[in-house]
């Protein structure tokens, strides 16, 4: 995140304290002793952490929720620790249905670097509460198996571990659970203990599906150190129809622009349903309550204007990719539909946009009618010729008048073309 974006962020002064704002925004699903935690947050700066495992080369939207919570706490004066799990990433927390595929140590080490770079972009590295990045491999690598079992494992009861949601779900599945993944909660608990000892860390945040792992740490610290510490579990963000948010045909929405382009990222938010958009604004933006309530009224009274969706897409894409990339995505979207200059559109953004559409790669003199068929804009050549003769086909926003016309001379210097049928049906053409 660019420094100028960080500099504009602030918590809403209309709330009495950070806890009240976190609750209003829907960031708190479960927590240890809410009143005691609220008092601790109001009493003065505390140190808190959230962990991110490098099980992929990028963070995704679920992780973005945690990064925003961390940033809000930092804006309230608290001290963040961003943990990227060089050791826990070698194992992975238990998935509900099956064992994770173990990545090589070299792969995980590389991904640690990627994720550390992403985490650091969302949190300020200046001032007395600058973010500190930590890697749990630093304290687990020197730990022998005997030391692990004697010094850490002895504080855990198997009966309690079996009751954790992630473990019980796997025990009741056909896949079962390995000792490796069963032990994950001990490693995460040990992380909290080490951070408590090294930095005085007294709060861990994470998704509510991680609650068993979060309380593993609070329980361990209580047993070993006799201290009470805290955990926050944020709600799992789902769509109004109950489907998992941020997933489409098994593909996550990533924060890395090479994995999810800024254009695709912007379009994802722009397509938010009316029933979901206000909750998204609360969770994923720094817009104040008054502005979100105004947008909520706009959704109710003039939903066709999609003002809330445009605000959401602008705010979150700027948060993740910066203002320039966001403006390029907006410009590309306008140009695709004839409201901008395709030739002046950023090449990389236009390329990403066309690859999100049905597309085909073709020769420089391919018939436009055939391209309509190849991209699925028409069902047959006769349908394609009829669409052209009716004046409903455009290449790079110029109408095609001849049913026998080819793509020659109509392609942008970059070798790309936007094929459009009617007002809204688009496809991409790449000429080789």
Condensed to tens digits (0 to 9), the pLDDT of residues 329-352 reads 999 999 998 888 898 899 999 999
Q: Where in the chain is the domain with CATH 3.10.290.10?
A: 357-432
Out of 26-30, 176-180, 244-248, 318-322, pick the least confident.
244-248
Query: What pLDDT is stored for residue 2 in this prediction?
Result: 63
Q: 418 pLDDT band (50/70/90 cuts)?
A: very high
Query: What CA–CA distance (Å, rounded) separates 157 from 149?
Result: 12
Query: What pLDDT is stored for residue 67 in this prediction?
Result: 98
Query: What pLDDT is stored for residue 347 in this prediction?
Result: 92
Query: What CA–CA distance (Å, rounded) separates 129 from 199?
Result: 12
Question: What is the mean predicted confidence (pLDDT) over 365-378?
Answer: 96
Backbone CA torsion sign across 298, 303, 307, 310: positive
Q: Where in the chain is the domain with CATH 1.10.240.10?
A: 237-344
SS3 206: strand
Query: What pLDDT is stored for residue 132 in this prediction?
Result: 98
Question: What is the mean predicted confidence (pLDDT) over 304-324?
Answer: 96
Query: What CA–CA distance (Å, rounded) separates 204 from 278?
Result: 27
Question: What is the mean predicted confidence (pLDDT) over 101-114?
Answer: 94
Q: Find the distance separating the first CA and the last CA of the chain, reported in whole Å.
A: 36
Query: What CA–CA distance (Å, rounded) separates 430 from 106?
Result: 36
**More confident position, 264 or 160:** 264
Query: What pLDDT is stored for residue 1 in this prediction?
Result: 62
113's CB contacts (< 8 A; 6+ apart) are: none
User: Tokens for 121?
Assistant: 């972009």
Q: 248 pLDDT band (50/70/90 cuts)?
A: low
Superfamily of domain 357-432: RNA-binding S4 domain (3.10.290.10)
Tell which residue, 126, 117, 127, has the closest CA to residue 1.
117
Query: What pLDDT is stored for residue 97 in this prediction?
Result: 74
Q: Where in the chain is the domain with CATH 3.40.50.620?
A: 3-236
Superfamily of domain 237-344: Tyrosyl-Transfer RNA Synthetase (1.10.240.10)
In CATH, the number for domain 3-236 is 3.40.50.620
Query: What pLDDT is stored for residue 189 in this prediction?
Result: 93
Q: Exposed/middle/buried for 275, CB within 10 Å: 0-12, 13-18, 19+?
A: exposed
Helix (H) or strand (E) holding 170: helix 165-171
Determine how β-strand 398-399 pairs with β-strand 393-395: antiparallel
Query: What CA–CA distance (Å, rounded) separates 23 from 103?
Result: 37
Share of the chain above pLDDT 70, in %: 98
Mean pLDDT, the chain, as a whole number?
92
Query: What CA–CA distance (Å, rounded) separates 304 from 310?
Result: 12
**What's the whole-model pTM score?**
0.91
Question: What is the mean predicted confidence (pLDDT) over 179-193?
Answer: 90
Q: 249 pLDDT band (50/70/90 cuts)?
A: very low
Query: What CA–CA distance (Å, rounded) separates 226 from 48?
Result: 18
């Amino acid at each position: 995140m660019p420094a100028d974006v960080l500099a504009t962020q602030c918590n809403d002064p209309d709330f009495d304290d950070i806890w009240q704002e976190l609750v209003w925004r829907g960031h708190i699903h479960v927590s240890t002793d809410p009143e005691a935690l609220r008092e601790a947050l109001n009493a003065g700066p505390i140190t808190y952490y959230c962990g991110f495992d490098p099980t992929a080369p990028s963070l995704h939207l679920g992780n973005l929720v945690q990064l925003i919570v961390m940033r809000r706490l930092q804006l309230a004066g608290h001290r963040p620790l961003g943990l990227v799990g060089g050791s826990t990433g070698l194992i992975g927390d238990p998935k509900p249905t099956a064992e994770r595929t173990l990545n090589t140590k070299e792969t995980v080490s590389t991904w640690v670097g990627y994720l550390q770079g992403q985490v650091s972009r969302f949190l300020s590295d200046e001032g007395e509460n600058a973010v500190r990045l930590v890697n749990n491999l630093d304290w687990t690598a020197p730990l022998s198996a005997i030391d692990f079992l004697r010094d850490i494992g002895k504080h855990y009861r198997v009966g309690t571990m079996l009751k954790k949601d992630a473990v019980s779900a796997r025990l009741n599945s056909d896949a079962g659970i390995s000792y490796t993944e069963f032990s994950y909660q001990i490693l995460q608990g040990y992380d909290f203990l080490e951070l408590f000892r090294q930095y005085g860390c007294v709060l861990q945040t994470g998704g509510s599906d991680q609650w068993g792992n979060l309380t593993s740490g609070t329980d361990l610290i209580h047993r070993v150190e006799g201290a009470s510490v805290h955990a926050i579990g944020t709600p799992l963000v789902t769509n109004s129809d109950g489907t998992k948010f941020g997933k489409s045909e098994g593909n996550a929405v990533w924060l890395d622009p090479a994995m999810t382009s800024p254009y695709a990222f912007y379009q994802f938010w722009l397509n938010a349903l009316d029933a979901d958009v206000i909750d998204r604004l609360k969770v994923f933006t720094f817009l104040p309550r008054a502005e979100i309530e105004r947008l909520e009224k706009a959704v109710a009274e003039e939903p066709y204007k999609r003002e809330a969706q445009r605000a959401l897409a602008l705010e979150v894409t700027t948060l993740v990719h910066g203002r320039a990339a966001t403006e390029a995505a907006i410009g590309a979207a306008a140009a695709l539909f004839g409201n901008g200059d395709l030739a002046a559109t950023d090449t990389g953004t236009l390329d990403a946009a066309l690859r999100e559409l049905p597309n085909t790669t073709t020769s420089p003199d391919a018939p436009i009618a055939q391209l309509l068929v190849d991209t699925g804009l028409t069902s047959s050549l006769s349908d394609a010729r009829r669409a052209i003769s009716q004046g409903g086909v455009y290449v790079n926003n110029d109408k095609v008048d001849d049913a026998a016309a080819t793509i020659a001379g109509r392609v942008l210097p970059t070798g790309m073309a936007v094929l459009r049928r009617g007002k809204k049906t688009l496809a991409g053409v790449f000429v080789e």
